[in-house]
Amino acid sequence: MADEVSAVDWMTDLAERDLSLDKALSPAEKGLYIAIKTLRPKSIAVLAHHLSISASSVSRGCAILVKRGWAKIELVSREKRVWAVVPEFVQVKQAALLSEIYHMQPYKGEFLLKVLLDAHVLSRNYVDNARPKWLVNPTTGEQMEIDRLYPTEDDGEGNHGQGASSVLGQAGRNAQSQAGRNAQSQAETSAHGQVGRSAHGQVGRSGHGQVGRGAHGRAGRTDQDRASKDGNGFEFHGPQHFGPTKTYPDVEEFKKTQARDLMKKAICADHGVKLIVVTYKDLSPTGILRRIPNTLPTGPADFEGSFMKKVAELCNNYRNNAKNLR
């Protein structure tokens, strides 16, 4: 699984390229977008405080991003919260790219699970195909793996706990800190008035989601009291995990698989990781929400955007094929 293509990286690179090429945005507004995406502030006032810029300047910059389709603003408890999103024309490109990547995947159900988590869960503080040193099969000594592990708390505002050091290492935290400093440096140029300029040029579509997060649909869970203090692991289980199938008819192999699954779940629980099993029945933009615990912060989802519609199409095809395998 080490050669697995990371969909979120591909989609982010595509979006950031189009952001860089958007001639209707000043460098300061592009920096402001990066700051919004990185810091995930709970209000425009908080964003202004982080960047040492006046709230009025930030508001004007955010308004320009909204008109170009790169941001959306929602009212949360009398505060204006701004989200970094992706315009519809970029989502069309992302949808086409997702189809291309999907057909390269050897484990398509697991791949779709990760795409859905990327679309809903705000935290990027995770390890795919994680092999914690403590996750060992006691009967065989085999190192076991978690499809995706969110090892530490994340309050939905870009703040990470320190409990991931044993998994992610100091280098990962340093990279996150540097990204935040770069975003602040770019956005601070707006203090000289660039962000505050009037909006001109073509009015873009309403904001759509960063890899599916955006202007419509379910509101996010970002309260600090819902941050995960323990780890959350996600595992995709195909039909062969629940009984012999046409593709995997061997009863003894099924029993071994079942025993391994039970051991993995128990060992994870002993080490403070809640292992969440996802099946083909959960693979849809709304179905996956049943499996995401309240302790993981989520953002609003754009179910009507081109990207999420493509995700729904791929999931539907996978579910239909999975039914035929049983």
Residue 324 is predicted with a pLDDT of 73
d(CA 307, CA 52): 35
Q: Give the β-pairing of 71-76 and 79-84.
A: antiparallel
Burial of 93 (0-12, 13-18, 19+ CB in 10 A): middle
Does residue 228 carry a pLDDT above 50?
no
Higher pLDDT, 158 or 94: 94
pLDDT in tens, 36-66: 999 999 999 999 999 999 999 999 999 999 9
d(CA 26, CA 243): 57
pLDDT in tens, 259-287: 888 999 999 999 999 999 999 999 999 99
Contact in structure between 290 and 279 (CB atoms under 8 Å)? no
pLDDT in tens, 66-88: 999 999 999 888 889 999 999 99
Q: Which residues contact 305 (CB under 8 A, 6 or more apart)?
A: 86, 88, 91, 208, 209, 212, 214, 215, 216
d(CA 136, CA 200): 59
Which percentage of the chain shows pLDDT scores above 70? 71
Predicted TM-score of the model (pTM): 0.77
Number of other CB atoms surrounding residue 44 within 10 Å: 20
Q: What is the amino acid identity at position 291? A: R
Does residue 181 carry a pLDDT above 70?
no
d(CA 310, CA 137): 38
Residue 113 is predicted with a pLDDT of 98
Does residue 3 carry a pLDDT above 70?
no
Residue 53 is predicted with a pLDDT of 95
| DSSP SS3 for 280 | helix
Residue 190 is predicted with a pLDDT of 42
Residue 266 is predicted with a pLDDT of 96
The chain-wide mean pLDDT, for the chain, equals: 80
Which percentage of the chain shows pLDDT scores above 90? 59
What sign has the CA pseudo-torsion 213, 214, 217, 220?
positive
Residue 256 is predicted with a pLDDT of 83
Residue 153 is predicted with a pLDDT of 63
pLDDT in tens, 133-177: 999 999 999 999 999 999 876 655 656 554 454 443 333 333 344
Does residue 217 carry a pLDDT above 60?
no
Residue 301 is predicted with a pLDDT of 86
